Amino acid sequence: GTGSSILSALQDLFWLSKSKVEKQLQIISVLQWVLTFLIMGIACTLILMYILCTDCWAIAALYLAWLVFDWNTPKKGGRRSQWVRNWAIWRYFRDYFPIRLVKTHNLLTTRNYIFGYHPHGIMGLGAFCNFSTEATGVSQKFPGIRPYLATLAGNFRMPILRDYLMSGGICPVNRDSIDYILSKNGSGNAIIIVVGGAAESLNCTPGKNSVTLKNRKGFVKLALRHGADLVPVYSFGENEVYKQVIFEEGSWGRWVQKKFQKHIGFAPCIFHGRGLFSSNTWGLLPYSKPITTVVGEPITIPKIDNPSQNEVDFYHSMYVDSLIKLFDKYKSRFGLPETEVLEVN
């Protein structure tokens, strides 16, 4: 009757409202992460300097004293927090795109691993969500494995930001940090290295599947020195969430980007996503496109203290072949045509 119709209408209205609220929470969760990525380090440094010039200078001085004492912690595995990794905000972050983690093989807790993550994208959204939070269930999918996402060492010189990053299990992508985790932190460790780095980010654009890998062999040498198994990882959709202005080789824009990359460690990109209030306007929010991260089969690596170049080349070739096979096996499942080819540069 009429009462049932009214009740049904109210229920529809309630669910519509709940859906809208969840969407807004998803947007807020992604926005805070983008702002953290872009400005948190600089903002916290400036705020700390300002506080030093006020009557509250003692607070800043105490933090700086702690910073000196704690300076080497990022190089020793950091200070992860399961509480932070399990924040509800990361589940909203995951659902915005959405982001999924696909396991293809079991990983032994008696081994250590180096995951090669591809492609970089603009911000490595899939790498962060899957391995620096528990939003996609990495600890349930790979029980006993501790993931460490490696990022620019310069981030750990920024006050407050360094502590925030470490709480998620993020570490500096330098030899000291990786050596410590793979040799003095027991077994069951997995370091996730975005192999293509800044150079790869310069070429990421929707519809393009390419990786910078041919001359990236340092991670293979590290794996050999520690006997850590190599695991190829490909994120379908990572390049779809932002649009970028691509500067051609030899142009002034590419020259500036390469100079930044060489001297500072990152390459400034001119990119845009969607606006905060509308998907039809430009802004800093990424487009809500699915990102599916597939973790491939581990490649067993022997421990060789001083690997020769031939040995490095051999296992690097094995890794490239394994990555291409992984891409080819799953590409059609995640929206790409069978004719799509992974470009390895």
Three-state DSSP string of 128-145: HHHHCCCCCCHHHHCCCC
Res. 217: pLDDT tops 80: yes
Contact 202, 254 (CB under 8 A): yes
230-241 pLDDT, tens digit each: 999 999 999 999
Give the confidence band of 74 by pLDDT, cuts at 50, 70, 90.
very high
Structure tokens at 302: 């022997």
181-201 pLDDT, tens digit each: 999 999 999 999 999 988 888
Q: How far apart are CA 180 and CA 171, in angstroms?
A: 11
Res. 97: pLDDT tops 80: yes
285-316 pLDDT, tens digit each: 999 999 999 999 999 999 999 999 999 999 99
Question: Do you know the residue count of the chain?
Answer: 345
Res. 18: pLDDT tops 90: no
SS3 of residue 245 by DSSP: coil
Contact 203, 210 (CB under 8 A): yes
Report the pLDDT value the prediction gives residue 6, as an integer from 0 to 100: 56
Res. 15: pLDDT tops 80: no
102-117 pLDDT, tens digit each: 999 999 999 999 999 9
SS3 of residue 337 by DSSP: coil
Structure tokens at 162: 């360094």
- Residue 308 DSSP symbol: -
325-345 pLDDT, tens digit each: 999 999 999 989 999 999 999
Give the confidence band of 20 by pLDDT, cuts at 50, 70, 90.
confident
Nearest to 227 by CA among 141, 322, 334, 108: 108
